[in-house]
Chains A and B, each alone.
Chain A
Amino acid sequence: MATIRIPTPLRKLTQGKEEITATGATVGALIASVEAQYPGLKERICDDAGQVRRFVNIFANDEDIRFLKGLETPVKDSDEISIVPAIAGGR
Chain B
Amino acid sequence: MIQLRRNYSLSEREEESVPIKIVSVGGAGLSVLDRIVLDGLERADVVAINTDVQSLASSVAPHKVQLGRTATRGLGTGGDPELGYQAAVESAEEIREALAVARMIFICAGLGGGTGSGAAPYVAQLAREAGSLVIAFATLPFGFEGKRRGAQAQEALGRLNEIANAVVCFENDQMGDIVAPKAGIHQAFATADITISQSVRSIVNLIQRPGLIRIGFDDLLAALRSRNGRCLFGFGESDSDNRAHDALAQALKNPLMDRGRMLADATRVLVQVAGGPSMTLSEVEILMQELGRHVNEETQILFGTAVDGRMGNRLSVTIISSFAADKDSVPQEIQPAQSSVPAMPPVWAQPQDASPEIDVEPEATPIETSQPAETMPIEEPAPVATAWPQPSMPHKPEPRLITPQSNPVPMKEGKPSPEKNVQAKQEVLQFEPVTRGRFEKSEPTIVEGEDLDVPTYLRKKIKVK
Is the A/B pair a real complex?
A: no
Interface residues of B (CB under 8 A from A): none
Interface residues of A (CB under 8 A from B): none
